[in-house]
Structure 1
Amino acid sequence: MLSHLLLRNRSFRLFFIGRSLSLIGDAVIPTALALAVLRATGSASALALVLGCAMGTRLLLLPLGGVVGDRFNARTVALTADVVRCVTQLFVGVQLLGGDPHLWHIALAEAVGGAASAFAMPTLSPLVTGTVGAKDRHAANALLGVVRSGSRVGGPALAGLLVLAAGPGWAFVLDGVSFAVSACLLAAVRIHRPAEEPSDEPAARRSLRKDLVEGWHEVRSRDWYWTSLVAHSAWNGAAAVLTTLGPVIAVEELGGEGTWIAIVQAGAFGLLGGSLLAGRARPKRPILAANLGLATYALPLALLAAEAPTPAVIAAYALAQAGLGFLSPIWETSVQAAIPSGSLARVTSYDWLLSLAAMPLAYVLGPLAADAWGTATPLWIAAAVVGVVCAGTAAVPGVRRFGVSDSGGRAAQAAPGDTGLSKKVSSDTVA
């Protein structure tokens, strides 16, 4: 019922539809890209190169994207990024449909697309806070989480249908069209800027370095925030280890490719289930609950390392992904309530940067450790790290004290140096 009321809000409805189309388009790309590169080159290293180009530019430019998102209108930044990504995906699609794709063309296009995503990702929270009031943000984030999870469920199937019926090029064309439609819808969105305390100097006169430093200060001054980001980074590193070694164990020890497909699909449904649960849940200690949910990722890692029965691995992976689905709306709502709107894009960019930083390293170290000591060893290590780090955030005072007050829409959290009294931060005011 609440989702119907939210969608009556014209600006949020347009933003939500555009975001949904982009997510669906993006969900088909991993499968299509893998098949396209392997068909063109037959090389896993070539696929790693293309993925590395996209990830590298994204991580490199994320802090700059956060600064731009705070200095300028978030809608304009997101719209421009959508236009750039539309062009890059259509370019790759045309290359593939032409029948003679060049690897460096695809790698360059994905690098440009990764750069554009570095500017688009930090705008998500400002777009949510700019289109809905504080009391509706949890429902809005949960609704977006359900679409994100649902696209991961249906994306691979849609990609497979497109690839088998018409070739991988059409998957990229679909993604490009989705970005074009999203840009058109964003052009009609009206963003409301929350009222803030006046700044000492206009944004245009501030240096890039000062903006970066101020954004970082917002992160490190909150113990619940930066320790949670360490946990999120550990989770992503562990996920990279499982992604690289899990298929090997599934194929060689657990029954073949069908087993790995079953594990991945169960995870996608678990992700959707966790997102649906987050839409209804109102935990008294949201950050603590969300981080403890992430700690369940230790289960599928440990079971794969122990070569447990396939049904146990499938169930454990579904549970672990449900923890991720539960985290996303809870975390985003908490951050949007606690972080000043003028710093939200920069803080979000650091969030993405620190959360994703461990993945490239884990992609490299996981297989190296498996070659040296066997696949079980890196899986056991990843299970221990993600379990201890995520559950260990319960020892952080700010994580335990961060809560949602009875009035709704306000996050109560203790800042460093507080004398036991909670600081309440609200972003209800709309200009």
Structure 2
Amino acid sequence: MTSASDSSGSSSSPGTPARLRGPAWADRNYSLLTAAAIVTSLGANGSLIAAAFAVLDAGGDGGDVGLVAAARTLPLVLFLLIGGAVADRFPRHRVMVAANALNFLSQGTFAVLVLAGEPRLWQMMLLTALGGTGQAFFSPAAEGMLMSSVSGEQAGRAFAVFRMAMQGAALGGAALGGAMVAAIGPGWVLALDAAAFVIAGTLRSFLDVGHIPPRAPGEGMLADLREGWREFTGRPWLWGIVVQFSIANAMVGAADAVYGPLVARDSLGGPGPWGLALGAFGAGTVAGALLMTRWKPRRLLFTGTLGIFPLALPSAALAVPVPVGALYAVMFVAGTTVEIFGVSWMTALHQEIPEEKLSRVSAYDWFGSLSLLPLATALAGPAEDAFGRGPALWGCAWVVVVVTAAVLLVPDVRNLTRRTVQVAASAGSPDAERSAGGLG
């Protein structure tokens, strides 16, 4: 890892005037990663709304929206583990650029089909599946690259600032996406998302991976996957929270990807208000990330997990459904508290997982967290037919509460603590570092 850990926040460039210096952890890689994440977040959050309304505009129903959403997440889940092994074996920035190129091709073709006329359901499913495949290779590489770009006591703040920038872009993307879908149609929003992948891929091509030691020749990809699995299963706090999120994400994904657009169409006034609701969630995540630039909770995962309980509120609000203003407030609160978890989680991974295994562990994290999402989105339509939309949404809310309470029964989730640079440096060994507060 190359970023300085000077807590004073001064730049590492001695010739730069003090008033122009950025924080020590904001090196070239970190700045490029942040800029690229802003660009893709702007496009991706608008395209999520655009894709749902493209299906509806083509004559589809809630079940069709769920099938298209599932078509994206299914290959994402299937290829994540391979993506993690590839990202730990090859230069991560090249994996990221290749994935961005695939996303550009799939999203650009989707846009052309929508603009040209009525796209077929199977075409939309195929193209979103290609996008999910690209994301499967991108996500582990991106997370490993970010974590290897920061170090020391300021790592938590660096993650918070990164996530604040990304979530701020998500806020703008969701709000603008909803408005643009209503004004110019979903096809043009999808086209803008494709262009965003070109810009982001160009930025990521300039990343420097010289600070990452080259991997020694191994026994092959299966051996790499087994090694990552041992790292993953050997930490109860890690697999416990991933199991929790595999269920919670499925519930939230079904509510946001399927039920949300339907409630918006029937009760909230269409894509514009729904885009603003997603934007309110994004505003909450920005507020939560801003809070975490200053707040350093000692019990990382206990504090973060408490922030997941309010994630049940949006599903409950859609079940009523509450007025638009109340929905905005609920989404803001949920976004704020879930971001407390997000920063705490990244800090825990950065603190506990060896650098050379970051992408593989990240892949198992993503795989577990998303494994049930395709099934949940595909079954959301049938569940609405069987039980009604309101009961289905209430079920989503209660499941989030139950699984979050259950993961707090894992001792390591309650007890994993933040490790300080000073203690870790003086300890000098992994065992001594763990005794300083980590549970790794």
2 CA distance for matches of 1:273 and 1:169? 31
Structure 2 runs not aligned, ≥5 long: 1-7, 10-20, 426-430
Match of 1:115 in 2: 133
Q: 1:268-417 to 2 correspondence within 5 Å?
A: 268-302=282-316, 314-407=328-421
Question: Are residues 1:143 and 2:161 paired?
Answer: yes
User: Shift of the alpha carbon at 1:19?
Assistant: 1.9
Q: 1:2-41 to 2 correspondence within 5 Å?
A: 4-5=22-23, 9-41=27-59
2 CA distance for matches of 1:296 and 1:76? 38
Judged with a 3 Å threshold, the aligned counterparts in structure 2 of structure 1 residues 60 and 298 are, in CA distance, closer, same or farther, namely same
Judged with a 3 Å threshold, the aligned counterparts in structure 2 of structure 1 residues 56 and 304 are, in CA distance, closer, same or farther, namely closer
1 CA distance for matches of 2:64 and 2:211? 44
Contact 1:22-1:179 within 8 A present in 2 as well: yes
CA offsets 1:304-362 (integer angstroms, 9 cap, x no match): 65767876655444322222122212211210221111111111111111111222333
Match of 2:228 in 1: 215
Contact 1:287-1:330 within 8 A present in 2 as well: yes
Judged with a 3 Å threshold, the aligned counterparts in structure 2 of structure 1 residues 262 and 53 are, in CA distance, closer, same or farther, namely closer
> Per the alignment, in what secondary structure is the counterpart of residue 67 of structure 1?
helix
> Per the alignment, in what secondary structure is the counterpart of residue 134 of structure 1?
coil
Contact 1:149-1:325 within 8 A present in 2 as well: no
2 CA distance for matches of 1:240 and 1:303? 15
Match of 1:85 in 2: 103
Match of 1:231 in 2: 244
User: Shift of the alpha carbon at 1:268?
Assistant: 2.9
1:159 equivalent among 177, 188, 193:
177
User: Shift of the alpha carbon at 1:168?
Assistant: 3.0
1 CA distance for matches of 2:388 and 2:112? 42
> Per the alignment, in what secondary structure is the counterpart of residue 319 of structure 1?
helix
**RMSD, aligned CA:** 3.4
AA aligned to 2:134 is A
> Per the alignment, in what secondary structure is the counterpart of residue 67 of structure 2?
helix
Judged with a 3 Å threshold, the aligned counterparts in structure 2 of structure 1 residues 394 and 75 are, in CA distance, closer, same or farther, namely same
Superposition TM-score, scaled by structure 2 size:
0.81
> Per the alignment, in what secondary structure is the counterpart of residue 293 of structure 2?
helix
Judged with a 3 Å threshold, the aligned counterparts in structure 2 of structure 1 residues 425 and 202 are, in CA distance, closer, same or farther, namely farther
User: Shift of the alpha carbon at 1:180?
Assistant: 1.4
Contact 1:131-1:192 within 8 A present in 2 as well: no
Question: Are residues 1:202 and 2:217 paired?
Answer: yes
1 CA distance for matches of 2:323 and 2:200? 44
Match of 1:242 in 2: 255
Match of 1:66 in 2: 84
2 CA distance for matches of 1:242 and 1:271? 18
User: Shift of the alpha carbon at 1:177?
Assistant: 2.0
Contact 1:250-1:256 within 8 A present in 2 as well: yes
Contact 1:305-1:377 within 8 A present in 2 as well: yes
1 CA distance for matches of 2:118 and 2:314? 41
Q: 1:51-62 to 2 correspondence within 5 Å?
A: 51-62=69-80
User: Shift of the alpha carbon at 1:102?
Assistant: 4.9
User: Shift of the alpha carbon at 1:225?
Assistant: 0.6
Judged with a 3 Å threshold, the aligned counterparts in structure 2 of structure 1 residues 130 and 359 are, in CA distance, closer, same or farther, namely same
> Per the alignment, in what secondary structure is the counterpart of residue 137 of structure 2?
helix
2 CA distance for matches of 1:158 and 1:302? 25
Aligned length: 414
Amino-acid identity (%): 31
Structure 1 runs not aligned, ≥5 long: 412-416, 427-431
2:150 equivalent among 103, 127, 132:
132
Match of 1:185 in 2: 203
Superposition TM-score, scaled by structure 1 size:
0.83
1 CA distance for matches of 2:48 and 2:423? 36
Judged with a 3 Å threshold, the aligned counterparts in structure 2 of structure 1 residues 81 and 284 are, in CA distance, closer, same or farther, namely same
Task: Single out whichever of 167-176 and 346-355 deviates more from structure 2.
Answer: 167-176
